[in-house]
Chain A
Amino acid sequence: MRAEAKLGLILLLTPLLLWLTLLILIPHIDMALVSLRERVGVGEYRFSFANYWTFLSEPLYLRTFLRTAVMSILATVLTLLIGFPVAYYIAKMARGRMRSALFLLCLVPFWVSELVRTFGWMILLRETGLISNLLQYLGLVDGPVEMLYNDAAIMVGLIYTSMLFMVVPLVTTLETLPDEVIEAGYDLGGNGASVLREIIIPHATPGIVSGCIVVFMLSLGNYLTPIMLGGKDSLWFTELIYSQFIVRFNWELGAAFGFLLLGLSSAIVWGMLKLTGQSLEKTMG
């Protein structure tokens, strides 16, 4: 029996270890090694921090990096602010069938490719698009308005794309908050604001954290939305990675960029977990 259990353990461990080492661990270590080398001749490399130095000394790279980070944080905050009331409505205000119907509706964008969603916003926002035509029809503007190719369009696209990843964990945590607890808050003399601050938000923290982590991650790593909805000046960091890898074929610099993006997302995720006293197992698992 002991031997059999041991055999079972080994058999089940094998696929997990193969997956994690060959597809996650070693590729990332290899990427780090590649980012730490410099090409000195044909097929000749030496260890150096040159790629990271290039990143720091070129204002375009640094600015794009910071811009991507700031806009991703802004997108996360806005998604939380817009999504929270909806999640609360689904979890606490709607009843029975209505609740499951609304919940399913929130999932709809998930079933549709990101490309299709972005395409939808392009049709709506472009110069010949629906909103521009509607504004002209209403007489609010004289000529066609271009609403595409700017930062606001990127923001709308990011929020739309990641909304469901915020609403679903929020609904799941808010559902576990009993109505009686909220009633007790009011009975004890609380008003809407204090009940929200002292009962609802502390209870929803795990959902808020996991929603924010996923939304931030998706925004930071997004490629499609900024490239389709953004203009010439709204460069996203993932576009730099893509162009170094595929267009310039400078894998060393591209790998360094990749590592910086990974570092930034890990740092923010880690910081968010520490700040709220949550762990990755609890929020993701």
Chain B
Amino acid sequence: MIPSIPQPRFLIAAYTAYVVVFFLFLALPLVVVAAFAFNDSQFPSLPWRGFTWNWFFGAERPQIGVFHERPILRAIGTSAFVAVCVSVLSVAVGLSNAFLFNRYRFRGQGFLYVLMLLPLVVPGIVLGISILVFSSRVANGLWDAAQWDFEALRPGLTLVILGQFSFIATIATLVIGARLQKFDRTLEEAALNLGATRLTAVRTVTLPFLMPALIGAFVVAFLMSFENFNTTLMLVGSDAPLTIAMFDRLKEGSTPLLNAVSLLLMLGSSLLALVMIAFQKRG
């Protein structure tokens, strides 16, 4: 079925209706979460008791808003810190990998490329426990050998960052590699002919060309890290990132406070997405 081939009208109407229903299905849970952030009630459910901003700005019990809820604010800070670390690491390693696979030919390259893709097909929870098991073994070994308690290897933010990095790096590599593949090598050669050294050529010609992909990879890495649940769950220590903190609250029962946090999350990530699209268009 394509527009240039005539089809019975009701068939096309039914098809369009299906697609509309699909998008309603896609939007429904998000709209509902957003709407109940403004319900003047203790529960994010019907009946509707009127509109309120209290779940954002409220300062008194029982309606303490997001901006006065210390633990949630701290969790947002933790998540942002983790996400920045993971993104910086992933983009740096991704850039290096992209150059490695694009510019060099060496024995075992194909094998390494497949190995590099594997983190995408390992369930997140398995990545988490394998890193947990290994880091504990190293930490215990250090303690037995030198009585040295290396805190970073115990569940905590360092492990969360490493765990998320272990698969987000693959995605960064793919995003940056795809752009590098489109690069016209003769531009770099022209720079070399004009007397630039190899590093200068890469810095002044290749990197600016890669900029949209670098920003794209950074934003995607940031969002994936911010939203990650499975790997984080296994490696988290006492400082809980936002998804874990929200999960703990959700298990105890929900208030519209969680809706308010969710709405802020949606707004934040849409903003990031728009920034990325703007950069992509310019590149």
Contacts and interface: CB of A to CB of B under 8 A. Distances in A.
Contact of B26 (A20, A108, A122, A133): A108
B30 A133 contact: no
B101 to A, nearest CB: 9
Interface residues of A, number: 88
Contacts of B169: 19
A124 B32 contact: yes
Contacts of A261: 123, 125-126
Nearest to B199: A8
Among A92, A115, A160, residue most surrounded by chain B Cβ atoms (within 10 Å): A115
Interface in B104-143: 104, 106, 110, 112-127, 129-135, 137
Interface stretch (A47-55, A58-66, A81-89): A81-89
B46 interface: yes
A126 to B, nearest CB: 7
A192 B229 contact: no
A9 interface: yes
Interface stretch (B63-71, B206-214, B263-271): B263-271
Given A111-B269, A116-B30, A223 B125 contact: yes
Given A113-B226, A265-B121, A86 B22 contact: yes
Interface residues of B, number: 85
A15 to B, nearest CB: 5
A105 B97 CA distance: 31
Contacts of B112: 16, 20
A185 to B, nearest CB: 10
A138 interface: no
A254 B133 CA distance: 10
Given A105-B26, A183-B2, A238-B123, A24 B166 contact: yes
A246 B137 CA distance: 16
Contacts, number: 240
B3 interface: yes
Contact of A217 (B15, B123, B133): B123
Contact of B2 (A4, A179, A228, A258): A179
B104 A9 contact: yes
Interface string B164-194: 0110010000100000000000000000000
Contacts of A214: 120
Nearest to B93: A15
B133 A30 contact: yes
Contact of A284 (B25, B120, B259): B120
Contact of A281 (B45, B117, B129, B229): B117
Given A89-B19, A108-B30, A114 B229 contact: yes
Interface in B266-280: 266, 269-270, 272-273
A20 B116 contact: yes
B1 A160 contact: no
B85 interface: no
Nearest to B47: A133
Given A12-B96, A113-B265, A262 B123 contact: yes
Contacts of A265: 121-123
Contacts of A152: none
Interface in A88-143: 88-89, 92-93, 95, 102, 105-117, 119-124, 126, 128-130, 133
A45 to B, nearest CB: 12
B113 A285 contact: yes
A36 to B, nearest CB: 12
Contacts of B119: 24
Contacts of A56: none
Given A120-B33, A223-B229, 16 more contacts: A13-B100, A15-B93, A15-B97, A27-B133, A95-B3, A116-B266, A120-B32, A122-B250, A192-B1, A224-B229, A224-B230, A242-B234, A255-B133, A281-B113, A284-B120, A285-B117
26 contacts: A4-B198, A16-B116, A20-B112, A24-B122, A26-B134, A27-B133, A27-B134, A27-B135, A28-B130, A30-B133, A85-B18, A109-B30, A115-B227, A115-B243, A115-B246, A116-B266, A119-B33, A119-B254, A133-B46, A160-B25, A160-B26, A222-B230, A238-B123, A241-B126, A255-B129, A281-B113
**What are the 8 A-B residue pairs with the smallest beta carbon separation, nearest first?**
A120-B29, A221-B123, A27-B130, A27-B134, A111-B269, A12-B100, A23-B166, A113-B227
